[in-house]
Amino acid sequence: MTTTASSRRAVVAGLLTTGSLAASRAWSNPIQPETVTIGFITTLSTPAGYIGEDERDAFNLAIAEGGGKLGGVPVRLDIEDDALKPANAKQAADRMVQGGIRLFTGVNFSNVLAAVVPSVLASGGTYVSLNPGPSTFAGERCHPNYFVTSYQNDAFHEASGLAADELAYKKVVLLAPNYQAGRDALEGFKRTYKGTVAGEIYTKLDQTDFSVELARVRALAPDAIYQFHPGGAGINFAKQYANAGLGRTVPMLIPSFSMDARMVAATGDAANGIYASAIWTSEVDNPASVAFVTAFRKAYSRTPTTYAQQSYDTARLIGSALEAVNGDLRKQDQFRNALRAAKFVSVRGKFAFGPNQHPVQDYYLTRFEKNGAGEIVQNIVRKIASDRGDAYVSKCTMN
Amino acid sequence: MLLFVEQILNGLQYGAMLFMLASGLTLIFGIMGVINLTHGCFYMVGAYCAAFAVMSTGSFLVGILAALAGAGLYAVMVEVAVVQWLYRRDHLYQVLATLGLILFTNEAVSMIFGRRPPLLDIPPLLQGSVAILPGLDYPVMRLAFIGVGALVAVGLWLLVNHTRIGMLIRAGADDREMVDALGVDIRRLYTLVFGLGGLLCGLAGVMAAPLLAIEIGMGERVLITTFVVIVIGGVGSVRGALVGALLVGMVDSLGRAYLPQVLQGLLPASVADTLSAGLVSASIYVLMAAVLLVRPLGLLPARA
C-alpha cells in the first residue's frame, strides 16, 4: 500500500520535473522552435492516388527548400492514405488529434474533407484545405480555424460561365455526373453564363462509356459543351469525344482540374484544343511559378499538376504563419491572424482571403495546345475575372 | 432520325459486349450449375494482359492474343484449382468461394500490374470515325466491336449446333450422368467450357480496353448487368444470352437518350433531370422484372 503510494508520488514528481524542464527549455531558448507536426491525410492509392502523390510531393518540396523547415520552423509531416474513404480519413484524423497534432491539411476530396474537418475543429485544431472548398463550410458553417487556399468548389464553374460568354458561345450543352458536386458544377456555370443552355445531361457517377451522351450532343448541335468529369471518367470522355469526331465540330470547355498534366499524358492528342478555366497553369510566367515548376521537375521528373501548385502554396502559407508565432501553435489567435494575412508569395500570382477565409483571386481562360516541341501544354489565353470571391461569403457570419 | 440510328448502333455495341460476357457465363451456369462470380475478373484479366502486351510490343494483334490466352488460362486455372471441387456442393459454397476469388484476383492483379491503371490507345487502323449515313459519323472502333460481337455469335452457334463438342455441351446440360455414362470425360468438358467462357471474356476485355477505362474491379461493374442479361434471356442458352444482351443494350442506350427528353417535356427541369437519371439506372431491372412476370424462366431458356 505505502510502496505503491510512494512510487506513485515518485512518478508524479518525475513528471512534474520533466514538464518544468521542458517549459524552462522553451523559456530559455525562444529562438529554437520545436518541431511542428502537420497531419497530412490524402489519397495515395486508387486510380486517384496520383493526385495525393502530387500534393504530398509538392508540400515536401516546399519543406525541403526550407532545409526541413517552413517559415524557419522545423516541420514534420504525419502522412496517412485515406484510399478515398471518408471513414479511413476520420480514423486517421482522430488518431492524430489524440496524438496532439493541431494543424492539418492534405485532404483532396470534398466528401473526405467533410469527415475530417469536424474532428479537427472540435479539438481546437486548425485545418487548411489545399483542394476542396465545399459550399457548406464556405457559408453558414464557416469557422475561424478553417481555411481554403485553393478555391471555393463553385468558383471554377462560375469562371467557366464567364469564359463561355467571352468566347461568344450562344448555345451550350452541359454534362456532369449525377451527384452533389456534378449538380453544383452546372449550377455554378449557369450562375454566370448569359447564353442559352440547350441541354443538361447527367451521367452516372461510375460511367465509363459516353457514346449515348455524345450522340445527344451531336443531335443538339450546340456552339460548345461544358463538361465536368474528374479523374478516369474525364480521360475517357475526352478520348471518346475526339474519337467520335466531335472535337473538330463542337469545342469543349472544362474546369482546369478536369484535365490535369497527368490526364493530358493519358489522353494524348485528344486534349488538343480544349478550353479550361484555371487559377494557374505550369506555363504561368512569374518568377515564383517558374522557380516552382523548375524545382518540381528537377525533384520528381514530371510536370506539376494544379493540385501540386495548390499544395505548394498551402505549404508556403502555413510557413508564413508558423514564422509569425515561431512554431508555437498555442498562440492560436496570432497564428490565425497570420494565416488570414496570407503574407507569402503565391505561385499563382495574387492571393488573398475573403471574410469567409476562402480565396479572392484571379481566374484565367486557358487552352490546351501544342508547343514548339510538340507537347500539349495549357497556355493562358486571357484573364476572365479579377479578385473574384465566392457566392457564399455573405452567408458566413464568423465571430 | 440520325440520333435514333446512332443510338441503335450504340445499343448494338453495348449489346455485343454484354453478349461476349453473358454467353460464357450462361454456359457455365446452365451446363455445370455453377454460380461463378469470378466471371467478371476474367474480363479484367483480359484487359490488363492486353494493355501490357500492347505497351511492351506495340502491336494490337499481340494484345488480342495476350488477352485471349491470359483470360482463358486464368479461367482454366480457377476451374481446376477451385471450382471443380464445388460442382456437387450447394450454391452457397460456390458463391462464397468465387466471391473470395474476386478479392484474390483484384489483389493479385494490382500486385502484378501495379496500382496505377494502364492506358490502351485505339489501334491506328480503328481510330477516328466513318460516315455511315450522310451527316452521321460513327467511331470505327465501335463498328469493329459490333462486328466482333456478330462473329462471336455466329461462331458460338456453329460450335454449339454443328460440332461434337457442342453436342456434348447440349447433352451435358440436359443430363450430366448420361453423358458421363457414355464414356465422355465430363470433367474435361467442364474445364473446356470454363476456359471458353474465360476466352470470350478476354475478347470483350481487349475490345473494351481502348474505349473504356482499365481498372481494378472493372469486372464487378459489368457482372451484375451480365447476370441480368442471362436471367432475361433464360439460363443456359446461348440464343437467350444473345437476345438478352441486345435487349439490355437497346433499353440502356435508348433509355439514356430519350427518357430525359420525354420527362423534360412533362415535368419541371430540376425534377425531370434527377428523376430521369434515377429511372435510366433502373431501366434494365424494370425490363428484367417485366420479362420475369410474363416468362419466369426467361425468354429462351435452355430447357423449356
Whether A377 and A230 map to the same domain: the answer is yes
Residue A375's domain is classified under what CATH number? 3.40.50.2300
Whether A99 and A165 map to the same domain: the answer is no
Decide if A216 and B212 are in contact by the 8 Å CB cutoff. Answer: no
Domain containing A133 equals 36-151+285-353
Confidence of residue A204 (pLDDT cuts 50, 70, 90): confident
User: Sign of the CA dihedral A353, A359, A363, A367?
Assistant: positive
DSSP designation for A257 = G
Give phi and psi for A365, each to the nearest 5.
-95, 130
Note whether residue A398 is domain-resident.
no
**Interval B161-215: pLDDT, tens:** 899 988 888 887 777 788 888 888 888 888 999 999 999 999 999 999 998 878 8
Whether A146 and A159 map to the same domain: the answer is no
What contacts B260, CB < 8 A, 6 or more positions away? A201, A202, B272, B273, B276, B277, B280
Mean pLDDT, rounded, of chain B: 91
**Which residue of chain B has the CA closest to A178?**
B277
Strand-strand pairing, A275-278 and A359-370:
antiparallel
Decide if A213 and B256 are in contact by the 8 Å CB cutoff. Answer: yes
Q: State the smallest CA–CA distance between residue A395 and chain B in angstroms.
A: 24
Q: What is the DSSP string of B70-104?
A: HHHHHHHHHHHHTGGGGTTS-HHHHHHHHHHHHHH
Decide if A245 and B256 are in contact by the 8 Å CB cutoff. Answer: no
Whether A315 and A271 map to the same domain: the answer is no
Nearest to A215 among B14, B127, B257 (CB): B257
Cβ pair A59, A312 in contact under 8 A: yes
Give phi and psi for B163, each to the nearest 5.
-130, 165
3-state secondary structure of A203: strand
Residues in chain B, overall count: 304
pLDDT above 90 for A26: no
Decide if B7 and A212 are in contact by the 8 Å CB cutoff. Answer: yes
Decide if A233 and B213 are in contact by the 8 Å CB cutoff. Answer: yes
Alpha helices in chain A (DSSP H): 2-28, 49-65, 86-98, 110-122, 135-138, 155-166, 180-192, 211-220, 231-243, 246-249, 261-267, 287-300, 306-325, 332-341
Decide if B213 and A235 are in contact by the 8 Å CB cutoff. Answer: yes
HEC-encoded secondary structure of B43-65: HHHHHHHHHHHHHHHCCHHHHHH
Confidence of residue A24 (pLDDT cuts 50, 70, 90): very low
Neighbours of A3 (CB within 10 A): 7
CA distance A285 to A161: 25
Decide if A206 and B13 are in contact by the 8 Å CB cutoff. Answer: no
Confidence of residue A286 (pLDDT cuts 50, 70, 90): very high
Which chain A residues touch B if contact means CB-CB below 8 Å? 45-47, 49-50, 178, 200-202, 204, 206, 208-209, 211-213, 215-216, 218-219, 232-233, 235-236, 240, 243-245, 266, 268
Which one has a higher pLDDT value, B21 or A47? B21
Decide if A211 and B257 are in contact by the 8 Å CB cutoff. Answer: no
Q: What is the DSSP string of chain B?
A: -HHHHHHHHHHHHHHHHHHHHHHHHHHHHHHH----TTHHHHHHHHHHHHHHHHHHH--HHHHHHHHHHHHHHHHHHHHHHTGGGGTTS-HHHHHHHHHHHHHHHHHHHHHHH-SSPP--PPPGGG-SEEEEETTEEEEHHHHHHHHHHHHHHHHHHHHHHHSHHHHHHHHHHH-HHHHHHTT--HHHHHHHHHHHHHHHHHHHHHHHTTTS---TTHHHHHHHHHHHHHHHH-TT-HHHHHHHHHHHHHHHHHHHHHHHHHHHHHS-HHHHHHHHHHHHHHHHHHHHHHHHHH-TT-SS-S--
**Interval B261-289: pLDDT, tens:** 888 888 887 788 778 888 888 999 999 99
Decide if A215 and B7 are in contact by the 8 Å CB cutoff. Answer: yes
Mean pLDDT, rounded, of chain A: 89
Cβ pair B254, B229 in contact under 8 A: no
Nearest to B3 among A49, A211, A215 (CB): A215
Note whether residue A25 is domain-resident.
no
Note whether residue A9 is domain-resident.
no
CA distance A75 to A62: 11
Note whether residue A23 is domain-resident.
no
**Residue A31 has what pLDDT?**
63
Residue found by looking up cell 434515377 in the block: B278
Decide if A204 and B122 are in contact by the 8 Å CB cutoff. Answer: no
Q: Which candidate, B74, B78, B76, B24, places its Cα nearest to that of B49?
A: B74
**Which residue of chain B has the CA closest to A51?**
B116
Strand partners, A69: A74
Note whether residue A395 is domain-resident.
no
What's the whole-number mean pLDDT along residues B100-113?
A: 94
**Interval B116-139: pLDDT, tens:** 778 888 899 998 889 988 888 899
For A254, counting Cβ atoms within 10 Å of its Cβ (0-12 exposed, 13-18 middle, 19+ buried), the class is buried
Q: State the smallest CA–CA distance between residue B80 and chain A in angstroms.
A: 31
Whether A180 and A294 map to the same domain: the answer is no
**Residue A241 has what pLDDT?**
93
The ipTM is: 0.85
Q: Which candidate, A97, A40, A42, A80, places its Cα nearest to that of A63?
A: A40
CA distance A280 to A350: 11
Whether A368 and A270 map to the same domain: the answer is yes
Nearest to B253 among A204, A212, A233 (CB): A212
Cβ pair B49, B74 in contact under 8 A: no
**Residue A1 has what pLDDT?**
42
Residue found by looking up cell 441486345 in the block: B246
Nearest to A245 among B128, B142, B211 (CB): B128
Cβ pair A17, A54 in contact under 8 A: no
Whether A81 and A42 map to the same domain: the answer is yes
Decide if A50 and B116 are in contact by the 8 Å CB cutoff. Answer: yes
Which one has a higher pLDDT value, B89 or A296? A296
For A159, counting Cβ atoms within 10 Å of its Cβ (0-12 exposed, 13-18 middle, 19+ buried), the class is buried
pLDDT above 70 for A18: no
CA distance B57 to B54: 5
Whether A199 and A296 map to the same domain: the answer is no
Whether A122 and A147 map to the same domain: the answer is yes
**Interval A224-267: pLDDT, tens:** 999 999 777 888 899 899 988 898 899 999 998 888 888 888 88
Whether A62 and A206 map to the same domain: the answer is no
**Interval A310-319: pLDDT, tens:** 999 999 999 9
Say how many domains are in chain A: 2
What's the whole-number mean pLDDT along residues A147-166?
A: 94
Nearest to B221 among A46, A206, A243 (CB): A206
Residue B115 grid coordinates: 496500382
Whether A158 and A81 map to the same domain: the answer is no
DSSP designation for A303 = -
Note whether residue A90 is domain-resident.
yes
**Interval B34-87: pLDDT, tens:** 899 999 999 999 999 999 999 999 899 999 999 999 999 999 999 999 999 998
CA distance A238 to A266: 10
Whether A230 and A370 map to the same domain: the answer is yes
Nearest to A244 among B121, B139, B215 (CB): B139
CA distance B207 to A22: 66
Cβ pair A309, A348 in contact under 8 A: yes
**Interval A41-98: pLDDT, tens:** 999 887 788 899 999 999 999 999 999 999 999 999 999 999 889 999 999 999 999 9
